[in-house]
Structure 1
Amino acid sequence: MHKPLTALLLAGLILAGCGWRDSHLNPGNWFGKSHTERVEMTNPEPTNPLVPKKTKKSIFAKPSAADLSLPIAQVTKLEIEPTNTGAIIYVEGVAARQGPYAVELRDISTPEEKADGVLSLSFRVTYPNASTPQGSDFSRTVRAAKTLSKGKLAPIRTIRVVGETNVQVIRRR
């Protein structure tokens, strides 16, 4: 086993060291020389390689799910805590019945409100399909938070959180 391998390596070294510089028998010429080509790159639209391209939907694709969320029954608490990068908005509310999930603060600001420095958020929850008991206020209390960067927070003077029956407002001093 060692003799054929040694003989093959020696033959390769001898052949590579031969004066057959341009010969196809020389292993250095097997892949050819590298060269540079000048090619014009055109990119008609800016793209982000990390975001997948939108494709046409198939006739077998599922339709997008309907929004089943509802405004929370009552907003009970609104606090803003400053951070190094902006602020965190903490909101607490009481749902109409037990079992809410998919809690979110959704931006519902109109362009006129944004121009006046008002950020309006809707406190929304999704309830289970099956009926659930109403229960105590403690068992129906849910919390949500939203972060704002310094850039988004700069023009805002008032933050409103809208529920089904009330609105909590906090203003910058």
Structure 2
Amino acid sequence: MTRPAARMITLGLLVATMGLGACSGWRDSGANPSNWFGRSRAAEVSPEAVATDVNPLLPESAADFIAGNQKAVEGVTIDQIVSLEIERTIEGAIIRVAGLATREGAYDARLIPDTIDEEPEDGVLAYRFVVKYPVEGTPRGTEATRTISVARSVTSQHLDAARVIRVTGTQNARESRRR
């Protein structure tokens, strides 16, 4: 091999090595979509979110029954939030939450936004994890049989204005902050 060819190969390898070395910064970069929200952590539940001894499926008055009780339509807040994960997508993100119901048989799990237009309030995009229960009694069961998962797609518009995504249950809440 001639000297100029060997120098070109050496120079090419040097440039490739430096280029690959620069890629290690991508992991911690703000441009990396997997860094936009960190792991979830426990958060305090606001006093107004804590359940009372009232059965939310029964109307407080006959007028509520006739007009339609919104809580009976939406469901009841799940007992505990077990995990919260944010996965980036092309359109925005998917919020995945696992919760622990008070008894077996919970169904129709949903994340209900705390605001009507689903806009972040003070940088917090907040949701309540609600489920419905069968009318007939069901056993309490083990944690594995009471764990229920739900996911919700969120657009980039909502994420851009949010610094925190928070999901609330009856006993606890979990939140994930933007890095």
Instruction: Name the TM-score class by shorter chain.
Output: 0.5 to 0.7
Aligned pairs, number: 111
Residues 98, 140 of structure 1: 8 Å contact kept: yes
Matches within 5 A, 1:46-65: 64=68
Mapped partners of 2:121, 2:81: distance in 1 = 25
**Aligned: 1:67 with 2:80:** no
Aligned partner of 1:163 in structure 2 is: 169
**Aligned: 1:152 with 2:158:** yes
Aligned partner of 1:126 in structure 2 is: 132
Runs of 4+ in 1 over 6 A off after TM superposition: none
Which runs of 5 or more structure 2 residues have no equivalent in the other structure?
1-65
- The secondary structure found in structure 2 opposite 1:152 is helix
- The secondary structure found in structure 2 opposite 1:81 is strand
Which runs of 5 or more structure 1 residues have no equivalent in the other structure?
1-61
Mapped partners of 1:96, 1:75: distance in 2 = 12
The alignment-based identity, stated in percent, is 39
One-letter amino acid of the counterpart of residue 174, structure 2? Q
Aligned partner of 2:107 in structure 1 is: 101
- The secondary structure found in structure 1 opposite 2:120 is helix
Work out which structure has the larger RCO, using CA pairs closer than 8 Å and 6 or more positions apart in sequence: 2
Residues 120, 158 of structure 2: 8 Å contact kept: no
* Shift in Å, 1:155: 0.3
One-letter amino acid of the counterpart of residue 104, structure 2? Q
Larger Rg: 1
